[in-house]
A = this chain, B = another copy of it.
Amino acid sequence: MKESVKNTLDKYVEFIEKALKKYSLKSRLGLQSTVADAMDYSIEAGGKRIRPVLLMAFCQLFGGDINNAAAPAAAIEMIHTFSLIHDDLPCMDNDDFRRGKPSCHKQFGEACAVLAGDALAIRPFQIIANDEHLDNEKKVKLISELAFSSGAEGMIGGQIIDMENEKREKIDEANLSQMYSLKTGMLIKTSCVMGCISAGASEEQIKAAEEYASSLGLAFQIIDDILDVTADEKVLGKPVGSDAAENKTTFVTLFGIKEAKVEAKRLTEKALKILDEFDNNEFLKGLTEYLLVRDY
């Protein structure tokens, strides 16, 4: 990663960490502070903060004030964290660990994890509504976009398709594409769109951001599927071949590894080309290459 890209990324990550700390409820709750502890625990377990970074980058790409992006960026990370907490529950994926730490329900108990997830699903709308930088029109657009993409028509819908696919014998391309585009693609797209809304971008700019995000999200997923077969366990961070071991349908099982690589390359180039249309695209191009040009 280029030095200038890395510097901007660090700046964005620092900004979002500060925003997330600001929105912690820890000091504001009395008797019910356990739920705030569980919320903070999962937020702080952190990841690469890709979604808020994309949001901030699109806000600035289209000339927006970074302060307009603080509440929306924290909101999208909270929604992402809520989905991870509930996905890890015993009745869902039953994962005891998340990023090397005990998952929320292992640390705080199942009831508290359900409630912490619930609270992280609701708080995003409160912090956008109460933000001091955004005007009402932007707030309403942001809330509409976020609720649509994280609800039953979006991310939650993708999760239910994924759960039901476990019971299905055969999963075709249409199903797999829809599941991925809802479960993971939707929130990536919404991150970019919310960045645009924060900046007051034009309809045309929003459309370009959506197209970029669709290519990015799908390419990222295909590359993940490829790496599951080809990568070193150390690089991947989970056992190689775990999809195949679970008999999971992936882009690789559907199309073969050669075709999957061609498609990932095509989508990566498409995403980069969309960014070429805009000035000040250096950071986003660098980030895209960092996310997509992996060793597969």
**Measuring CB to CB, which residues of chain A are less than 8 angstroms from any residue of chain B?**
25, 28-32, 34-36, 39, 82, 86, 89, 91-92, 109-112, 114-115, 117-119, 121-123, 125-126, 128-130, 136-137, 139-141, 143-144, 146-148, 150-153, 156-161, 163-164, 175, 178-179, 182
Contacts and interface: CB of A to CB of B under 8 A. Distances in A.
A29 B114 CA distance: 25
Stoichiometry, copies per complex: 2
B125 A143 contact: yes
Contacts of A141: 129
B125 A178 contact: no
A156 B122 contact: yes
Given A122-B150, A136-B136, A144-B130, A175 B31 contact: yes
B151 A126 contact: yes
B144 A136 contact: no
Contact of A156 (B86, B118, B178): B118
B29 A157 contact: yes
A126 B147 contact: yes
Nearest to A135: B136
Contacts of A140: 129, 136, 139-140
B121 A118 contact: yes
A91 B117 contact: no
Contacts of A34: 160, 164
A261 B129 CA distance: 41
Contacts of A179: 31
Given A126-B144, A130-B144, 20 more contacts: A25-B152, A29-B152, A29-B153, A29-B157, A32-B182, A39-B152, A82-B118, A86-B114, A91-B111, A92-B114, A111-B163, A115-B156, A115-B159, A115-B163, A119-B156, A121-B121, A122-B150, A129-B140, A139-B140, A139-B143
